[in-house]
Structure 1
Amino acid sequence: MIETHAHVYDTVFDEDREDTFARARALGINEIWMPNCSSKTVGPMLQLAEKYPDFCVPMMGLHPCYVAENFEEELEIVASQLKSRNFPMIGEIGLDFYWDLSFVAEQEQAFIRQLELAKAFNLPICIHSRNSKDLTQNAILRCCELIEAFGWKELRGIFHCFSGNLEEAKRVLSLHFVLGIGGVATFKNGGLDKVLPYLALEDIVLETDSPYLAPVPFRGKRNEVAYIDLVADRVALLMGENKANVVAQTTKNARKLIP
């Protein structure tokens, strides 16, 4: 099984990271994909990648929540890192309208600039798209619009932590992306019970977004990679599939993005 999105370099794992990795390996997880957030997370992330080269796979990008006045400087660091070593994916990038709308224009600029980097390096991307609290600003659809306007037909990747509706899911899939499914699938009012039954296994990959968004029954607590097993259980139930098929196909889907 491949964990396609986990911030395992976060300091909340400093006391028991080895134990969390052991629990993940015991479940058959053989890769953890690590999205970058900003220049401050590059160091800790790459240290893990160097310590566990066949287990912890780093991405490179600027997370929308870290876009501020200095985003140009941050993007220069992203570009420099992409030139200095091989990263298999750019991420996580995108739009976040949930916490702060002060830098929406800058977030869009940063997103487009990183689409350009994806094209320049021919890499897939990992997209973060979170709507505003009142749902009047739709980050999923806006990311889709910017991708369509960008116009590079080879662009591919993951809409991470997907929590949209079926219409939005189909819009994303039409752009040749897959949906990252995590703990939200287990939430009573998460909404994915109205989406996943109408999708194919080829449309999704599994993730946790550790240490965030722990699945039921651990909701509200620190998430960890091993809980992806609970996500697989829920996906199998909602899609009417055998869990082994869910694991096999989602792993195959991930492997198409990062061979």
Structure 2
Amino acid sequence: MLLTDTHTHQYYETDPIKREELMQRCLDNGISRLFLPNVDSASIELVMSQVKVYPQYCFAMLGLHPCDVKENWQDELNTINAAIPQHKIYAIGEIGIDLYWDKTTLDNQVKAFKTQINWAKKLKLPIVIHCRDAFEEVYKVLLEEQDEDLRGIFHCFTGTLEQAQKVIELGFYLGIGGVVTYKNSGLDKIVQQIDLKHIVLETDSPYLTPVPYRGKKNESSYLLYVAEKVADLHQTSVENVAAITTENSKIVFGV
């Protein structure tokens, strides 16, 4: 069985021994493909360090997280853009709009989002979207930027069935993580109605820990519990979920 974690910040663990233990637990659970998004210029080195240690398992993407669109956001974009040609990356991400923490930066978040979408188009890379309390704002940008080169993943999708269908119609995949295991999230009922060909799996480690470890620090090895829940919802085997979602990830990332 081969599972793919399409979104993990596992690189936050910098202790070599603990990092090795995390990776071993991933391999023990069948997770041997980890896609790592940075969040700002300072985290580029952390991502690349993990990729250097585990080049057969870890794959980098670069972008500016919307929560890090602050006063110096243009400088941050310039630094990240300059780093891209120096590394092998598989997506621009994570990028998008977040109105949960700060609505006052919306205009700059949109500008940063559009700038990075255009990077991805020029590089023929997918984008990985962070969208929190901002579906309509993100969707508006995507409609404005829509063309044959615009593609990617809606990371941590927790929206409605109608929103899911809009995402799918744009040619994007839905990133499904630990929230699907939460009893009152409602996401389980949405995922149940979505064909597996439109889904990829993720942890967003160290956040959004799935049941049965909810409340504790998340890690990529827990992707197995997300896969098991999705398999249960679709009344199929976890091996089938792993095969389909990993194939979807290969289509998105080209690796």
**Shared topology, TM-score over 0.5?**
yes
1:30-49 to structure 2, matched below 5 A, reads 30-49=32-51
Cα pair distance change 1:196/1:13, threshold 3 Å: farther
Separation in 1, partners of 2:104, 2:17: 35
Separation in 1, partners of 2:17, 2:218: 14
Query: Would you say how many aligned residue pairs link Structure 1 and Structure 2?
Result: 252
185-194 vs 90-99, which moves further: 185-194
Deviations, residues 97-137 of structure 1 (Å, cap 9, x unaligned): 11111211111110000011011111001000011xxxxxx
Separation in 2, partners of 1:250, 1:15: 30
Unaligned runs of 5+ in 1: 132-138
Aligned to 1:182: 177
2:158 counterpart of 1:163:
yes
Cα pair distance change 1:167/1:218, threshold 3 Å: same
Q: Is the 8 A contact 1:165 1:194 kept in 2?
A: no
Separation in 2, partners of 1:77, 1:152: 27
C-alpha RMSD of matched pairs (Å): 1.3
2:114 counterpart of 1:112:
yes
Aligned to 1:136: none
Separation in 2, partners of 1:151, 1:196: 25
Aligned to 1:219: 214
1:1-259 to structure 2, matched below 5 A, reads 1-11=3-13, 16-131=18-133, 139-258=134-253, 259=255
Tell me: higher relative CO, structure 1 or 2? Use CA pairs within 8 A at least 6 residues apart: 2
Question: What TM-score, normalized by structure 1, do the two folds share?
Answer: 0.94
SS of structure 2 residue aligned to 1:57: strand
Separation in 1, partners of 2:203, 2:98: 18
Quote how far apart the aligned CAs of 1:15 are. 6.0
Quote how far apart the aligned CAs of 1:192 are. 1.0
Seq. identity, %: 42
Separation in 2, partners of 1:15, 1:244: 30
Separation in 1, partners of 2:108, 2:235: 42
Q: Is the 8 A contact 1:60 1:90 kept in 2?
A: yes
Q: Is the 8 A contact 2:10 2:36 kept in 1?
A: yes
Question: What TM-score, normalized by structure 2, do the two folds share?
Answer: 0.95
Deviations, residues 55-84 of structure 1 (Å, cap 9, x unaligned): 111101000011111110111112111222
226-235 vs 51-60, which moves further: 51-60
Q: Is the 8 A contact 2:11 2:50 kept in 1?
A: yes
